[in-house]
Amino acid sequence: MQSVEVLVIPRLPDRALAQIANVERRVKIADAGGWFDVEIRATWPQWTVDRYLGARKYPATTLEERNRALAAAEVVLLGWPPLKDLKARARRLKWVHALPAGASNFFDTDLWGSDVLVTTSRGFTNRRPMAEYVLASFLHFARGLNFSYRDQRRRLFDHQSYDPVLLRDKTACVVGAGGIGQEVGKLCAAAGMRVVGTRRSVTTEAAPPAGFARLEAPRALYDLLRESEFVAICCPWTKETTKLIGREAFAAMRPGTVLVNISRGEIVDEEALLDALAAGKLRGVALDVYVGEFERPPDARLWDDERVLITPHVSAGTDVSEHGGVGLFCANLDRYLKGHPLENVIDWERGY
C-alpha cells in the first residue's frame, strides 16, 4: 500500500494533526509547522510579516531540509501567508489545500493558473462572527455611535448629529450571497431587516436562501443598491469584482447608505469611495479590508474620516472558533485517496 506524503506547513495543534493522520493508514504526515517562516519573512512585505507572524519564534531549519520536505510532498496543507514558489519546489505535488477562504491569496504565487489542484476553505470559515461584524457595523452607524468618539475627545456633546435610524424594515443588500453572505442575510433578517442580494449563479426555480426576500444575478446590482439603505460586500475578489463598487455603484446608492466590506479591499474603488464621502453620500463605512492591506496602512484620508471605521481584517475573529478548514481538508483527503472529486477546487478562470 503506497503512502501519501502530506506536508503540513502551518502550525497546528496536536489534535488537528491526529485528525488528519486518522483519515487513512496511507497518510504520512510531515509536520513542518513554522519551518517556512524564515522564507515568508524574506518574501512578503514587512507589514504582512508584522501582522501575521509577529515576533513568534520559528524552528531552525536549512534550505536543504525545507526543499527535501517539499520535494517529497504529494499533498500540502497551507496557512497564511502562502509560499510563493511552492509548485516549483514540489515536483510530486498534486494537491494543495488552503485553510483560509480566499482564492485571491494565490494571485502572487506560482500556483495561480497551474495544473495543481488547489482547494480553499470557502464556506467553512467563521461565518457567524463575520455576519455579527456586519450587523454590528450597521448598528454602529445607524445609532450614530461613531460620533461618540468625537464627543469624548472634545468632552462636548452634539446631540443632533447622532440622528439615529431604526434597522427594522430597512433593506440590506448582500453583495455575494455565498456561505458568508447567506449567514449575513440570516442575521440581518433576524434583526427585522428586508434582505436582498446578488450571487453569480441564480436559478429562477429555486427559492432564495433563508432570510432573503430577493436574490438576483450580478447584473441587477445597481437596481438592488437603489432600494437598499445598508450594503454588505461578501463576494470573492476576482477579475470581475475588481472595483465592482465604483462610481456607478455609489451613484446608484441612496443618500445615507451604510457600506460594510468584509471581503477584499480591491472590490471597492477607494477614490470613488472618497468622492462619495466628500459628497456626503454615505452615512458610514466599515472596512475590515482595504486596498494594499498586506503591504501598508490604510489611506490616511479614510483613517481620518469619522464616518469610516477601519479594522485589521479581524471580522472572522472569535473566542469560539467555528472554522472548519481542517475538517474540510480531512474530508477532501478521504475523497483524494478514493479517487473522488474534491470540494472547493479553485476554478482559475472563474477566480474562486
Average pLDDT of the segment spanning 89-109:
95
Query: What per-residue confidence (pLDDT) applies to 298?
Result: 96
**Whether residues 193 and 261 fall in one domain:** yes
- Give the H/E segment covering residue 152: helix 146-154
Query: Quick one: how many helices (H) and strands (E) in the chain?
Result: 13, 12
What's the pLDDT band for 1 if we cut at 50, 70, 90?
low
Please pick, among 295, 306, 322, 343, the residue that the annotation labels catalytic: 295
| Residue at 345 is within a domain | no
**Mean pLDDT across the chain:** 95
Nearest to 264 by CA among 295, 230, 236: 236
Nearest to 213 by CA among 230, 196, 191: 196
Query: What per-residue confidence (pLDDT) applies to 66?
Result: 97
Query: Would you report the helix, strand and coil content of the chain in percent, each value rounded to 5?
Result: 35, 15, 50
**Whether residues 297 and 160 fall in one domain:** yes
Please pick, among 122, 264, 283, 323, the residue that the annotation labels catalytic: 264
Task: Verify whether residue 264 is a known catalytic residue.
Answer: yes
| Residue at 63 is within a domain | yes
| Residue at 43 is within a domain | yes
Query: What per-residue confidence (pLDDT) applies to 205?
Result: 66
Average pLDDT of the segment spanning 33-61:
92
| Residue at 351 is within a domain | no
**Whether residues 41 and 133 fall in one domain:** no
pLDDT tens digits, one per residue of 116-161: 999 999 988 899 999 999 999 999 999 999 999 999 999 999 999 9
Domain count within the chain: 2
**Whether residues 102 and 233 fall in one domain:** no
Query: What per-residue confidence (pLDDT) applies to 25?
Result: 94
Range of the domain at 57: 4-124+323-338
| Residue at 315 is within a domain | no
Which of 43-47, 248-252, 285-289 bottoms out in mean pLDDT, i.e. has the lowest? 43-47
* Cell numbers describing residue 11: 502550525
| Residue at 348 is within a domain | no
**Whether residues 194 and 290 fall in one domain:** yes
Share of the chain above pLDDT 70, in %: 99
Please pick, among 68, 200, 247, 313, the residue that the annotation labels catalytic: 313
Nearest to 254 by CA among 287, 232, 278, 276: 276
**Whether residues 179 and 277 fall in one domain:** yes
**Whether residues 97 and 226 fall in one domain:** no
**Whether residues 112 and 234 fall in one domain:** no
d(CA 338, CA 330): 12
Query: What per-residue confidence (pLDDT) applies to 22?
Result: 95
Average pLDDT of the segment spanning 84-105:
95
pLDDT tens digits, one per residue of 329-352: 999 999 999 999 999 999 999 988
pLDDT tens digits, one per residue of 165-217: 999 999 999 999 999 999 999 999 999 999 999 998 887 767 889 999 999 99
| Residue at 133 is within a domain | yes
Q: In this structure, are residues 188 and 172 in contact, taking their beta carbons and an 8 Å threshold?
A: yes
The SS3 of residue 212 is strand
**Whether residues 47 and 119 fall in one domain:** yes
Higher pLDDT, 307 or 322: 307
Q: What is the CATH number of the domain that holds 186?
A: 3.40.50.720
| Residue at 318 is within a domain | no
**Whether residues 42 and 103 fall in one domain:** yes
**Whether residues 29 and 174 fall in one domain:** no
**Whether residues 249 and 140 fall in one domain:** yes
